Chains A and B, each alone.
Chain A
């Protein structure tokens, strides 16, 4: 009987996602002892991974019905696991999977749910204080859930340390799955297409300006975007010069984007470009002119030859993301 239950996530290939290990990191920040629930084909193998990282028990739901199930049925299963485990704390990832279930479950249990938590600490009386950024990070709050009931939290990805594999093992409990009560049905999962994504939806954008010189200058950027599934953008100058189509243009008279990472290569940072990307969460500028205004808005700047830097960056990222 662990006090904490984490709702782990598994890929379609049956591998644990990074968020699952981060959930373990978070669980450890609260209390050493935790159990997990995991859904999906081959989740049993992933369960072992969780066990090796300290989960005492893993509830595994591996049922053909999962393929067509939607959030409500998942929430129902998590509820059963909570009851079986007698958990007082449930952790989700603030991910498309976690968010789809957590709210639903909170209402079912009439439990409090704190979303998008970036850190935990414990008060002397054992109560959990969560750190939760507000207003796009402009305010940091510390907050807790009232009462003695079950407490739900969803954690922001990439914020908690991902637990490393150890030599732990766990009990595996296979759970039945019942999707009959939900009128929502997953019809199909279209796997991510390899290659670039649309500018408007992209999480990461690599963008080029006059520093690329000509149409060929986009090649290393395009290569990277295709490899990592990013989008590629352009400044107006390159569009005007006819080096790339207008649909790539980011800026006042092009597209407005707000990805979590925007990499500006050889873009000086004219205001009309900034107008289209200034709300990006993290901005990286690569430019050989140290006076370029783009450095004023960039979080990280590299002064140098982009034709040298960009391929290096691709290699380094490939290593980091592997």
Chain B
């Protein structure tokens, strides 16, 4: 059983990206492994442990310090394949997916796991693009995965309830919150991570054209970035109790769009 995990570095969820020169600046941003990808990593490790499989991760990026991605190895993934492109962050799902598909074509994993979306640019499509490019089936947003007899039986949350989907392997499965609780890496793992195989690839190594990663050739074009008005300090709703509650429900659905 060979398991691939697609991971991505994203800014720490608590960090405040700033806009400089019409772009989102990377200055002063701490990166972390995309939280949804951590579910995928955890699942890959537990599945590999149970099925005595091997694991590796693929990323297109390398925008952060190496220690961020080393963390994935520290958690227990066996090796790293890093396609070195720092210019694609968020802007080019198709390009990223084509690159990843190319890497996976030669690796031929039995199972490809990924987070359901990156919390930076909030696309949820890249793993699905990869699936289509590789001609593989997929299950998105899984909250439970069981592997038996060359099949994955997954549960996913839908608005109607829990859908149980069976898919034959190889397949792409994306992870949702609730799939597992990602482990905190052991110190031994952190120390050992530096010794694990780490492959860095350029597009030319993969026989891909540079234009694939060129932001100007991306399907997506960003016209403008802006920061929303600073979050207002908590608004205390005044009035008679019944009115307060009415106003709260209105604000929740109309202003905050919760309902």
State if A and B touch, Cβ cutoff 8 Å. Answer: yes
Could you tell me if A184 and B139 are in contact, using CB atoms closer than 8 angstroms?
yes
Could you tell me if B237 and A138 are in contact, using CB atoms closer than 8 angstroms?
no
- Total contacting residues, chain B, CB less than 8 A: 81
Least Cβ distance of B230 to chain A in Å? 10
1/0 contact trace for B61-98 toward A, CB 8 Å? 00000000000000000000000000000100110010
CA distance A273 to B130 in the complex (A): 40
Could you tell me if A261 and B124 are in contact, using CB atoms closer than 8 angstroms?
no
Could you tell me if B97 and A107 are in contact, using CB atoms closer than 8 angstroms?
yes
Q: A70-B137, A71-B138, A96-B159 are in contact. Are A115 and B234 (CB under 8 A)?
A: no
CA distance A133 to B120 in the complex (A): 9
Least Cβ distance of A276 to chain B in Å? 14
Which residue of A142, A192, A285 contacts B160 across the interface (Cβ within 8 Å)?
Answer: A192
- The interface residues of chain B lying within 8 Å CB-to-CB of A182 are 137
Q: A99-B140, A298-B234 are in contact. Are A158 and B257 (CB under 8 A)?
A: yes
Could you tell me if B219 and A112 are in contact, using CB atoms closer than 8 angstroms?
yes
Which residue of B11, B141, B236 contacts A99 across the interface (Cβ within 8 Å)?
Answer: B141
One of B44-52, B163-171, B184-192, B193-201 at the interface: B163-171
Could you tell me if A97 and B161 are in contact, using CB atoms closer than 8 angstroms?
no
A198 at interface by CB-CB < 8 Å: yes
Could you tell me if A187 and B140 are in contact, using CB atoms closer than 8 angstroms?
no
Q: A136-B13, A139-B226, A279-B13 are in contact. Are A104 and B248 (CB under 8 A)?
A: no
Give B186-223 interface residues, CB cut-off 8 Å to A. Answer: 218-223
Q: A106-B125, A284-B252, A302-B248 are in contact. Are A159 and B164 (CB under 8 A)?
A: no
- The interface residues of chain B lying within 8 Å CB-to-CB of A304 are 241, 244
- The interface residues of chain B lying within 8 Å CB-to-CB of A112 are 94, 219-220
| A-B interface pairs (CB < 8 A), number | 255
Could you tell me if A100 and B164 are in contact, using CB atoms closer than 8 angstroms?
no
- The interface residues of chain B lying within 8 Å CB-to-CB of A185 are 165-167
Give B128-178 interface residues, CB cut-off 8 Å to A. Answer: 128-129, 131-133, 137-141, 143, 153, 156-168, 171, 177-178
Could you tell me if B132 and A187 are in contact, using CB atoms closer than 8 angstroms?
no
Could you tell me if B159 and A95 are in contact, using CB atoms closer than 8 angstroms?
yes
CA distance A106 to B132 in the complex (A): 9
CA distance A283 to B122 in the complex (A): 22
Could you tell me if B167 and A183 are in contact, using CB atoms closer than 8 angstroms?
yes
Could you tell me if A302 and B167 are in contact, using CB atoms closer than 8 angstroms?
no
- The interface residues of chain B lying within 8 Å CB-to-CB of A261 are 252, 256, 258
One of B1-9, B16-24, B102-110 at the interface: B16-24
The 6 A-B residue pairs whose C-beta atoms are closest, nearest first, are A103-B128, A112-B219, A107-B132, A103-B125, A184-B167, A298-B234
8 A–B contact pairs at CB < 8 A?
A129-B223, A134-B121, A145-B221, A191-B160, A284-B252, A300-B235, A316-B248, A320-B259
Q: A103-B125, A116-B124, A142-B223 are in contact. List 4 more A-B contacts (CB 8 A).
A: A100-B128, A184-B137, A186-B164, A299-B232
